Copies of this chain bind each other. A is one copy, B any other.
Amino acid sequence: MKSILQNLLLLFFATISYAQTQKPKIISPEILEDHSVVFRLHAPEANSVGIRGTMNPNFDLIPLVKNDQGIFEVTLGPFESDMYVYTFNVDGVTTVDPSNNVVIRDGSYIESRLFIPGGLTEIYDVKEVPHGKVSTVWYPAKTLDMTRRLTIYTPPGYDQSKKSYPVLYLLHGAGGDEEAWISRGRANYILDNLIAENKVEPMIVVIPNGNFRATSAPGETNLALKLEQDSAVLGAPTSMTGEIIPTSIIEDLIPYVEANYRVKANKENRALAGLSMGGYQTQMTTNLNPNTFDYIGVMSMGLYDMFGNYDEQKHISQIKAIQKANPKLYWIGCGKTDFLYESVVKLRAFYDQQGFNYTYRESEGGHSWNNWRLYLSELTPQLFK
């Protein structure tokens, strides 16, 4: 049996791996016992190789050192157990690590993944617990005049049960799309694990695309590809759009979900949360629709007066309307080194001044998925209780 296996492996290897033949075995990243990590790249013809990654929050380019076999290597860390992303820089060109077959795209950014087991990864690793289902569906978005793609998590047991469920609408940041909260955020496994521990109410999680010009993540349609290539050239995806996305959430998204899934279609059973651009969209949506959501989560986004045409009087009246609607939770989370930290200080000062109640969570770290996964794991236990 072994020879069958070996022969076939050889056979396929010869054909499939046209790009990777005759190279030495390279293991990268190699995680050492103390959670230091060795990064390696076989590049005998290259002059310089560097690495950048989210495990080094200042994003410095750190050089790898070349040995006499043409292998560049560096040992970094130790790092805290968690999931990070990194890229190599080969003679000035940003690349993924060819020895690492896990890449994660976040909007326009394609990076290799580093997973250091233990610690925080326990929140979102795949465990022997019942798993929910993650689906992608296309839905009509009349206010945007397009059919769009969304990701939806239905909790374990949804298909077998006749129950109705509460819904968390979960928004990504600039640079992301309807895949980000699953691929980088691992929202499905966070929910699976917390539901299994009875810490979280079984809920549906709906993840739309927050870029108003896009129908979907890049790669689905040629149209999406073109739009996202435009935005890659611009430097960031499309959508800081005032009322466009909030309108589509209220008029397109929620009606679609409530017509097609077994949901508890009322304020008490609707939550809206988002990170960064999605935090802004969360604020805008709830400012404009104070009676729609009883649970509101704003991650890594503060007062949006930085955007030029801020109208404080309007904001005050909107906040008063939310106050009157009396949501069960208005949650704000931010990291101490987040580049938007000062905007969050201002938002809290503004809310305090208005006598507006909110729950504030300040974490270590910055504007990162490491924080957003953590926030989701802390926010979801507070929903629908």
Answer yes or no: A161 CB below 8 A from chain B CBs.
no
Q: In the complex the two chains form, is B87's CB within 8 Å of A90's CB?
A: no
Q: In the complex the two chains form, is B95's CB within 8 Å of A90's CB?
A: yes
Interface range on chain A: under 10, 10 to 19, 20 to 34, or 35 or more? Answer: 35 or more
Contacts of A87 in B (CB 8 A): 19
Nearest chain B CB to A94 CB, angstrom units: 5
Contacts of A110 in B (CB 8 A): 96, 98, 101, 103
Answer yes or no: A314 CB below 8 A from chain B CBs.
no
Q: In the complex the two chains form, is A92's CB within 8 Å of B125's CB?
A: no
8 Å CB contact of A91 from B7, B25, B45, B240: B45
* Contact A15 to B339, CB < 8 A, known contacts A91-B90, A94-B20: yes
Answer yes or no: A121 CB below 8 A from chain B CBs.
yes
Contacts of A173 in B (CB 8 A): 12
Answer yes or no: A309 CB below 8 A from chain B CBs.
yes
Contacts of A95 in B (CB 8 A): 90, 93, 95-96, 98
A residues touching B (Cβ–Cβ < 8 Å)? 1, 3-5, 7-20, 25, 27, 41-48, 52, 59, 87-96, 98-105, 107-110, 113, 115, 117, 121, 125-126, 128, 131, 133-138, 147, 159-160, 173-175, 183, 215-216, 218-223, 225, 228-229, 232-236, 240-242, 260, 276-277, 280, 306-309, 339, 367
